[in-house]
Amino acid sequence: MSHDLFEAARAAMRLAYAPYSKFPVGAAIRAEDGRIYAGANIENISFPQGWCAEPTAISHMIMGGAKKIVEMAVIAEKLPLCPPCGGCRQKIAEFATAETPIYLCDETGVKKTVTMADLLPHSFETDVIG
């Protein structure tokens, strides 16, 4: 089930706009509606005013009408098994549960699965998304 998320994240990474860091990242979410929503990092010359791949994917999910992350894949071209940054971890936690699997990928596929609780064990919790 995670292979299609890997493929979507890798395709998104190829669309990254990362002329300053040269660090393309892609992310893909499977939401509660079963659809996949993907995103890439998008930089801005006024660094750090760009945004990461994970919130881009979350934005697509919300705009698509979904509200919950069922599972997520993340890939970075230059760093195998690149986990989401600290800020993105809390953004993901807003729409995920502690048990939500996050797949860390390299160029060949999913190599490690962690849970949201593994990534952010003491996140702020919300009961808004239930």
Task: Note if 77 is an active site residue.
Answer: no
Determine which one of 54, 77, 99, 107 is catalytic: 54
| C-alpha to C-alpha distances, 123 to 17, 56, 129, nearest whole angstrom | 29, 20, 15
What 3-state class would DSSP assign to 104? strand
Q: What is d(CA 109, CA 87) in angstroms, rounded to the nearest whole number?
A: 24
Contact (Cβ atoms closer than 8 angstroms) between residue 63 and residue 56: no
Phi and psi of 47, rounded to 5°? -55, 135
Active site residues: 54
